[in-house]
Amino acid sequence: MNFEQMKKELGMESCPGCFAEIYEEIKDEWKNRASLILSEAYIEGVLTEAKVLLPYMETVLSAAAKVRENDALCLLVCVLEKWVKNGGNINDPDYTPPKGPRLDYDFFHLFAAIPTIPDSVRYFRNRNVPEDIIAASLQEYDYCFEMCRMNIGRIAFDKGRLVWICHTINNELIRIGRFKYELPTKRVSGVRVYKNSKGEILTLADGLHIHRTGRIVGSIYCEDETESFVADITETENEIIGHVITDGNVAREKTSFSKLEWELCLSKDDAVIPVHIPRDGDFDVDTIESSYARLREVMANCFVDMPYKAIHCHTWMMSRDLRKVLKPTSNILAFQKKYIHYPCKSAGTWVFGFVFPGEKGISDIESLSEGTSLQRNVKELYKNGGAIYDDCGFFF
């Protein structure tokens, strides 16, 4: 089996250019590597040691047995293993994964990731990350299975899951209590934030193209540029002049602020900690706050070399439009309250994957479920021409 035969046998329409180079590197050893990383003893050993995918072990081992029978898939797993380890862009559209009979094709991406699990454990232990946090962070694999169940109706580990699990492979995602956090990364775009001596915060739009409705041009129902404006910041020797953002709304007029009073504290050059919200667990304020508190502790004790300026979140759950569809006692609204909002370009479709998982989404509003108040009210909002525009938010 060589590279071209693999592509032909698997019916792969395209591959990233680097696949052929990886093949050249591994062509003499991939068979041995495949025998190891697809063997029952290896997979069971790694997963048991790290307590990963335990409830799914039987399915995983059956899938590995199926892949072992398919030489072309074995080679592809070895190429993918090298690709993810080299930090390759798994989202590369040139990578068109093969499709076939369920089990082996549903899971083969997983076998490229499993060999990185012991490295992740070692990395976090070397940084003295508490064992419960390491274990919870590696549960991301289990979460991926459940995401597939939600999206396609059965557990699996598809290309999308391999893309996502690269956060875990790269040791940049940790689970602490209620939330998952990315280790600090530059994620702020569209705002500059200032603080004064009283601790007050001033948020200015930085290059945002504002639609006449106040949304970002290019968002759903906001495609035209009539009466739009670009909210930029200018500076003189003594002043900063820009469009203030109040509760996510960008002022049309500019205001001047004294540089003597206001000091820059957050801009696109700064690292922040992005927050991700898994489905499982209570979502009350105490649970949420204890996660943030432990995050700060872990950052101070284990990642002191990774400074960050703020905690940041971009999701449908940050949308200010949710105020129109959730009751005042809503946990989601209480979660949002801590964040300083700013608008971002939004297709208005993010909400469907998480509020109506596995359903048709925006293409068939009438057919959407009405099981919860949120589902009923979101459906009604879209039927009336509205949308849930995802927002960004941050806090210090």
Ligand X SMILES: CC(C)(COP(=O)(O)OP(=O)(O)OC[C@H]1O[C@@H](n2cnc3c(N)ncnc32)[C@H](O)[C@@H]1OP(=O)(O)O)[C@@H](O)C(=O)NCCC(=O)NCCS
Hey, what long-range contacts does 121-127 have (CB within 8 A, 24 or more apart)? 121/49, 121/50, 123/171, 124/171, 124/174, 124/302, 127/302, 127/303
Position 331 contacts ligand X (CB under 6 A): yes
Residue carrying the six token digits 């072992």? 68
Which listed residue (33, 330, 338, 380) binds ligand X by CB under 6 A? Answer: 330
| Shorter beta-carbon distance to ligand X: residue 37 or 332 | 332
Position 368 contacts ligand X (CB under 6 A): no
Piece in contact with ligand X (CB under 6 A), picked from 155-163, 212-220, 246-254, 330-338:
330-338
CB of residue 211 vs ligand X: minimum separation in angstroms?
Answer: 23
Piece in contact with ligand X (CB under 6 A), picked from 54-62, 138-146, 259-267, 368-376:
368-376
CB of residue 354 vs ligand X: minimum separation in angstroms?
Answer: 3
| Shorter beta-carbon distance to ligand X: residue 311 or 332 | 332
Position 373 contacts ligand X (CB under 6 A): yes
CB of residue 9 vs ligand X: minimum separation in angstroms?
Answer: 37
Binding characters for ligand X, 337-366, by CB under 6 A (x = yes) = -----------------xx-----------
SS3 of the chain: CCHHHHHHHHCCCCCCCHHHHHHHHHCCCHHHHHHHHCCHHHHHHHHHHHCCCHHHHHHHHHHHHHHHCCHHHHHHHHHHHHHHHCCCCCCCCCCCCCCCCHHHHHHHHHHHHHHHHHHHHHHHHHCCCCHHHHHHHHCHHHHHHHHHHHHHCCCCCCHHHHHHHHHHHCCCEEEECCEEEECCEECCCCEEEEECCCCCEEEEECCEEECCCCCECCCCCCCCCCCCEEECCEECCCEEEECEEECCEECCCCEEEECCCCEEEECCCCEEEEEECCCCCCCCHHHHHHHHHHHHHHHHHHCCCCCCCEEEEEEHHHCHHHHHCCCCCCHHHHHHHCCEEEECCCCCCHHHHHHCCCCCHHHHHHHCCCCCHHHHHHHHHHHCCCCCCCEEEEEC
Report the DSSP pairing between strands 185-186 and 191-195: unpaired
Position 388 contacts ligand X (CB under 6 A): no
Position 374 contacts ligand X (CB under 6 A): yes
d(CA 252, CA 173): 38
CB of residue 367 vs ligand X: minimum separation in angstroms?
Answer: 16
CB of residue 76 vs ligand X: minimum separation in angstroms?
Answer: 30
Residue carrying the six token digits 């775009």? 189
d(CA 388, CA 380): 11
Piece in contact with ligand X (CB under 6 A), picked from 29-37, 67-75, 231-239, 372-380:
372-380
Binding characters for ligand X, 271-300, by CB under 6 A (x = yes) = ------x-x---x-----------------
| Shorter beta-carbon distance to ligand X: residue 115 or 274 | 274
Position 332 contacts ligand X (CB under 6 A): yes
Binding residues for ligand X restricted to 53-112, rule: CB under 6 A:
none
d(CA 117, CA 148): 20
Position 268 contacts ligand X (CB under 6 A): no
Piece in contact with ligand X (CB under 6 A), picked from 79-87, 125-133, 225-233, 367-375:
367-375
Contact 319, 343 (CB under 8 A): no
Kindly determine how many residues on this chain lie close enough to bind ligand X according to the rule CB under 6 A.
15
Which amino acid would we find at residue 125? Answer: R
| Shorter beta-carbon distance to ligand X: residue 135 or 333 | 333
Binding characters for ligand X, 308-327, by CB under 6 A (x = yes) = -------x-x--------x-
CB of residue 369 vs ligand X: minimum separation in angstroms?
Answer: 8
| Shorter beta-carbon distance to ligand X: residue 245 or 277 | 277
Position 168 contacts ligand X (CB under 6 A): no
| Shorter beta-carbon distance to ligand X: residue 35 or 373 | 373
Piece in contact with ligand X (CB under 6 A), picked from 10-18, 90-98, 195-203, 371-379:
371-379
| Shorter beta-carbon distance to ligand X: residue 148 or 355 | 355
Judged by the rule CB under 6 A, the positions of this chain that interact with ligand X are: 277, 279, 283, 315, 317, 326, 330-332, 354-355, 372-375
